[in-house]
């Protein structure tokens, strides 16, 4: 039977603004996503035996219906009335609970990979709707590169790719942040924020040509509860980062460095944490790596 192996790239948020609480209980976002070279690997294989079998090299992650890869495969098989079984093997490298989008990326790549194996090309709006059912960040990983996210983050619009940058991503040992809890910390302050600009005004203000300006509304509340993350951010700046910020709701922190050599030197100065020296990934590079030209 057919099989393939695909990378599942991580992301950072170059800007993340939380406008307010929505009537449905979620929060309204304005964010700029950026894919980076740090990635997991997902191997998929069609099998004659029915059902889904998922294996993962991280024993802390479930391999049943709680896993986003399993859920993505189950959703697609149900929507397309697929009888063929699927074997999936997930090799994790993106730290879990660090705001780097690993689970969402895994889910999107599961959709992409199974569609490629089945040689099916559903309408793009339908594919994006399936992705949004799995999680707010999942639609972005069908696009990659640099993109504007609005709504809960599930409405994505491609932006011009930022110039290639080298990042140092620090994943603090023994410290993760629950995204749902982080939103709860924000809620009281957000009810007092003024009306948000339109998508196009936001784009014009925040993105003509990226030359800096990282921002993340989670930082004040997350740093207050986890002071070590503020220390890590300051350490990246002291060690040569032009800018540094929290990744999503955390707990990873990343810095943008002038060149790879300086980034590698800085990475050596965090011996107690997992550290990754990565590059930003442009949209076309992302599309080629995942074979998206076959689907979109």
| Catalytic residue set | 11, 137
| Token reading at 287 | 């599309």
C-alpha 241: how far from chain center? 22
Which residue carries 């740093």 as its tokens?
223
- H or E segment to which residue 11 belongs: strand 3-21
Report whether 114 contacts 120 (CB < 8 A): no
- Distance in Å from the first CA to the final CA of the chain: 24
Gap between the Cα atoms of 152 and 139, Å rounded: 11
Handedness of CA 293, 6, 143, 106 (dihedral sign): positive
> Beta partners for 10?
36
Which residue carries 């992650």 as its tokens?
61
Gap between the Cα atoms of 271 and 267, Å rounded: 8
Contacts for 243-247: CB closer than 8 Å, 24+ residues apart: 243/212, 243/213, 243/214, 244/214, 245/12, 245/13, 245/14, 245/214, 245/215, 245/216, 245/219, 246/99, 246/216, 246/218, 246/219, 246/222, 247/12, 247/13, 247/98, 247/99, 247/100, 247/169
């Amino acid at each position: 039977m057919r099989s393939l192996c695909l990378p599942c790239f991580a992301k950072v948020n170059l800007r993340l603004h939380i406008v307010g609480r929505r009537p449905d209980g979620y929060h309204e976002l304005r964010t700029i996503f950026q894919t980076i070279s740090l990635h997991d690997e997902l191997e998929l294989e069609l099998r004659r035996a029915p059902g889904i079998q998922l294996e993962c090299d991280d024993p802390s992650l479930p391999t049943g219906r709680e896993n986003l890869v399993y859920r993505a495969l189950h959703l697609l098989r149900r929507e397309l009335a697929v009888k063929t079984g699927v074997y999936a093997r997930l090799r994790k490298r993106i730290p879990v609970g660090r705001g780097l989008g690993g689970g969402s990326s895994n889910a999107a790549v599961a959709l992409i990979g199974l569609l490629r194996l089945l040689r099916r090309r559903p309408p793009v709006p339908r594919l994006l709707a399936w992705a949004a059912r799995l999680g707010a960040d999942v639609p972005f990983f069908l696009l990659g590169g640099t993109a504007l996210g609005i709504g809960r983050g599930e409405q994505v619009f491609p932006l011009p790719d930022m110039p290639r940058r080298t990042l140092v991503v620090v994943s603090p040992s023994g410290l993760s942040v629950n995204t749902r809890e982080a939103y709860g910390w924000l809620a009281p302050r957000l009810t007092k924020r003024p009306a948000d600009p339109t998508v196009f005004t936001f784009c014009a203000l925040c993105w003509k040509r990226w030359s800096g300006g990282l921002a993340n509304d989670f930082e004040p509340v997350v740093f207050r509860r986890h002071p070590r993350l503020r220390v890590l951010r300051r350490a990246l700046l002291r060690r040569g980062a032009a800018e540094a910020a929290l990744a999503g709701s955390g707990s990873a922190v990343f810095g943008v460095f002038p060149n790879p050599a300086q980034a590698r030197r800085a990475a050596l100065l965090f011996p107690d944490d997992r550290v990754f020296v990565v590059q930003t990934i442009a949209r076309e590079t992302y599309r080629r790596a995942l074979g998206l030209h076959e689907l979109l």
